[in-house]
Amino acid sequence: MNRKRIISIVTVAIFTILLFNSYFILDETQQAIVTQFGKPVGEPRTDPGVNFKIPFLHKVQFFDKRYLEWDGDKNQVPTKDKKFIFIDTYARWEITNPLQFFIRLRDERSAQSRLDDILDGETRNAIASHDLLDIVRSTNRDPEITEDFMEEIEVLQDISVGRDEIERIVLEKANERTADLGVRILDFRFKRMNYVDDVRDRVYDRMISERNRIADQFRSEGQGRARVIEGNKERDLAQIQSEAFREAEEIKGRADAEATAIYASAYNKNRQSIELYKFLRTMESFEKSMDESTSIVLSTDSEFFKYLRRLN
């Protein structure tokens, strides 16, 4: 291989290397800035496509153009009314000015750390400035009554701010602090909130006491209704027995009256039959009251002696 051919190959290789290092490609999800010796050069590159730079002298710093996620740490925060709660938050943010972002933060890791300080701090300030009711509720409304026992529940206390407004306040305050960082916070939300353990135990105890009170109320009302039912039963039973006794006595009275009338009629129609009846009844009395070993003493005017004397 002669010298000219070697020089040609080296020249082509150098040209190729220079060519491939003189441009870079941005896709739709990226934006970039060009730096020279660590300092930005020119305007940020935000449009997708081919961009040019000086080979080896310029370096390219790429940044994400999409919405980015921030997930806060769980924090124990006191409310304005001195109730400790756990707060878990999340947010969405984007890089709006890659040049300013590179100057102030350099990369996404530093940005996440800076957002931790800003959003956690503003969250603490907002929670400490409002009562618990404002944090857990968004609107004023009347409780929905689905059971009769819920009618005694007090009307919910009105709120002056609400959770949605607190989230908006945190978002607004945080964006004021990130305005010079080249980023913008798009959304901020409370992902979850809960009492700390000791407060949660007291809340559960209160809920149990309330349910026990409602259960006792049900039992008391049930016992009261049972006594009313038993009283009505006893009253109705006494009334039925009284009416039955009255009807029975009336029937007996009518029967006695009819028997008396029959006796009187028979007596008036046939006196001899009456005497026969009396004789038979007397004989039956003898039979039931005396036996072979019985001795009796009768006077001369006794009804028993009268019929015995007639037999003789």
Distances (CA, A) of 43 to 33, 51, 101, 104, 181: 7, 12, 13, 16, 16
Q: Please name the residues in contact with 182: beta carbons below 8 A apart, sequence gap of 6 or more.
A: 95, 96, 97, 98, 99, 100, 101, 102, 103, 104, 105
Full-model pTM? 0.59
Give kind and range of the element (H or E) at residue 287. helix 271-289
Q: Given this model, what pLDDT does residue 154 score? A: 53
The domain locations on the chain are: 3-64, 68-195, 216-269, 271-312
Would you say domain 68-195 falls under CATH 3.30.479.30? yes
Checking DSSP bridges between strand 84-95 and strand 58-64, what pairing results, if any? unpaired
Tell whether the model's pLDDT for residue 184 goes beyond 90: yes
Which one of 32-41, 90-99, 189-198, 230-239 scores highest in mean pLDDT? 90-99
Strand ranges in 111-177 using DSSP code E only, listed in sequence order: none
Q: Where residue 116 falls among pLDDT bands split at 50, 70, 90?
A: very high
Q: Give the chain's length.
A: 312
Structure tokens belonging to residue 276: 């026969």
pLDDT tens digit sequence for 31-67 = 998 988 878 888 888 888 888 887 878 888 899 999 9
Distances (CA, A) of 35 to 15, 39, 50, 108, 283: 22, 5, 17, 17, 149
Which one of 124-128, 158-162, 249-253, 300-304 scores highest in mean pLDDT? 124-128
pLDDT tens digit sequence for 68-97 = 999 988 888 888 888 888 899 999 999 999
Q: Given this model, what pLDDT does residue 92 score? A: 96
Q: Where residue 144 falls among pLDDT bands split at 50, 70, 90?
A: low
